[in-house]
Chains A and B, each alone.
Chain A
Amino acid sequence: MDALIPPLLNGSAQGALLLLAALGLSLTFGQMGVINMAHGEFLMIGAFTAYLVQQVIDSSDLSIPVALPVAFVVAGLFGLLLEVSIIQWMYRRPLDTLLVTVGVSLILQQAALQIFPSQGVPVEKPGWLDGQLTVLGYDWPLRQVFTILLATVCVAALAAWLKYTSFGRRIRATVHNRDLAETAGISTRTVDRLTFFVGSGLAGVAGVAASLIGGTNSTMGAQYIIPAFLVVAAGGIGQLKGTIIAALGVGVGLSCFAYWTTGSLAQVLAFILVIVFLQVRPQGLFTVRTRSLV
């Protein structure tokens, strides 16, 4: 039990954080088939936003709840800016877009390094996250529980938004068949922008959560982008439930491996597992079938 419960508890929190980071990535990836490598930096922007909000609102009890929507909007606006300035010119070149966003992420990292102290900034945890739950006799820090709750709320909100609003339906239509959506009179340009705003905004929310668990510094985004992508790849494109399961799987897997071996070996093991998984299901857990060969 000692070897199982703590990594499971810790892993599901890690998985929730990954899920938050992967949600937006999967949304934009599903939308345009492009990996936004600056997505991790949007997460970083969210974390720094939490820090900045704390400079204005003294009480950390209050500042974190305020920071969540603010981070959503700030990171979302960055995403929108990226879409409008660069990505919209490159929709037909997905691999190149990946590289361009690598460039953006380098610039954002360096900017953060120069604006904020290089060792990072402290984001104070609110008092109401100090305690812990006891699960089967093991401590479960409230911070981790909070991450899981936050992820649940975000997933539910996103799912409801995609399902019940007309914008959401348009997004799903575009993900499913871009050309058809266009001929059906959907302005895919507007849909793209909105998707990018929401997807990047979710990264901002993830950033606030990340700032409560780990350090807030210029390289924090880079830590998340690869695992978040693995989650998207394993989950299948444009599939919310796939992303959820994959995030929990990768999170718990990483945490268990790290618990049983070492953190670095865990990364290697996780990588091997994803490769093996792709052997079995190259399209991810769930797929949208299309006729296209590619």
Chain B
Amino acid sequence: MTTPSSSGDSLVVTDLHVEFSGFVAVGGVSFDAHPGEVRFLIGPNGAGKTTCIDAITGLSAATGSAKLGEQELLGRPVHKIVRLGVGRTFQTASVFNELSVLQNLDIAAGRHRRWTSLLRTRRGVDPSIMQALEETGLVDELATPAGILSHGQKQWLEIAMLLVQDAQVLLLDEPVAGMSHDERTATGELLQRIAAKRIVLVVEHDMDFMRRYATRVTVLHQGKVLSQGTVAEVQADPKVQEVYLGTAGAATTAAMAAVPEEAAAELANLQEEDSHA
């Protein structure tokens, strides 16, 4: 049977392969993530970052292995993987727009409840929900329909949902996209706090954000691991610079052109970093 993992376990991904009718989106990716670190997964558009998370969470069929402690995640249905303690957010914030913030969190908290409690009406607010609201600064929005939250607030709500879910592994797909500078700082600090006892894996495009909060980074490119290490190591890697400077082939350039501002920001960041070095 599936028992939730204990808090000391690590997430170890080995030789992950994902194929979409012939097209190799992820071709042999390995990395690990441990409690206590804020792990980053970066790479140009289409590098396969989201697909990696999809594979780990059971959304896309994959080969290879993704283990949380002793438990193999691949091959299990989505909800079973969640019950093992793996939670994720989505690139486009996905909350239940018609339900209030509280209702959203209450549903997320539900997997720890017995089914009989499902038939009862909610009375008061669970302490775990209150705590998550405080962590994410959403206390005042308790009764707000999630649909009218700002973009950043929706992303916080998603993180709060993972907290009440008591996920041991948090896979966050671009959690600060569209946030202001202050919001990013708040989110980064929140992630650092959370990471003390859990595994946090962040997919991001924002290099500045990555530099401030990453403990270790994995760079993906065209479905493969390009480089791995601390922020400084990765940024010093000539291969990484090449990819981000757009000389690594037309495909990447085209992909980067699709999101001009983001790509441009990345470029600027790296070049700036270069000149410092």
Q: Residues of A at under 8 Å CB distance from B?
A: 289, 291, 293
Contacts and interface: CB of A to CB of B under 8 A. Distances in A.
B20 interface: yes
B21 interface: yes
4 contacts: A289-B20, A289-B21, A291-B20, A293-B59
A79 to B, nearest CB: 33
Nearest to A289: B21
Contacts of A291: 20
A45 B228 CA distance: 67
Interface in B119-165: none
A291 B91 CA distance: 14
Contacts of B20: 289, 291
Contacts of B21: 289
Interface residues of B, number: 3
Interface of B: 20-21, 59
A291 B21 CA distance: 11
A289 B22 CA distance: 11
Nearest to A290: B20
Contacts of A289: 20-21
Listed from nearest, the 4 A-B pairs whose CB atoms lie closest are: A289-B21, A289-B20, A293-B59, A291-B20
Nearest to B51: A291
Nearest to A287: B21
Nearest to B21: A289
A15 to B, nearest CB: 30
A153 B59 CA distance: 42
A81 B59 CA distance: 41
B96 to A, nearest CB: 15
A293 B21 CA distance: 16
B202 to A, nearest CB: 22
Nearest to B20: A289
A224 B168 CA distance: 53
B142 to A, nearest CB: 29
Nearest to A293: B59
B21 to A, nearest CB: 5
A60 to B, nearest CB: 51
Nearest to B59: A293
A182 B59 CA distance: 28
A289 B21 CA distance: 8
A293 B91 CA distance: 14
A282 to B, nearest CB: 14
A284 B19 CA distance: 21
B113 to A, nearest CB: 26
A289 B20 CA distance: 8
A67 B154 CA distance: 60
Contacts of B59: 293
A293 B58 CA distance: 12
A156 to B, nearest CB: 27
B82 to A, nearest CB: 15
A67 to B, nearest CB: 44
Nearest to A291: B20
A293 to B, nearest CB: 8
A289 B23 CA distance: 12
A291 B59 CA distance: 10
A234 B176 CA distance: 43
Contacts of A293: 59
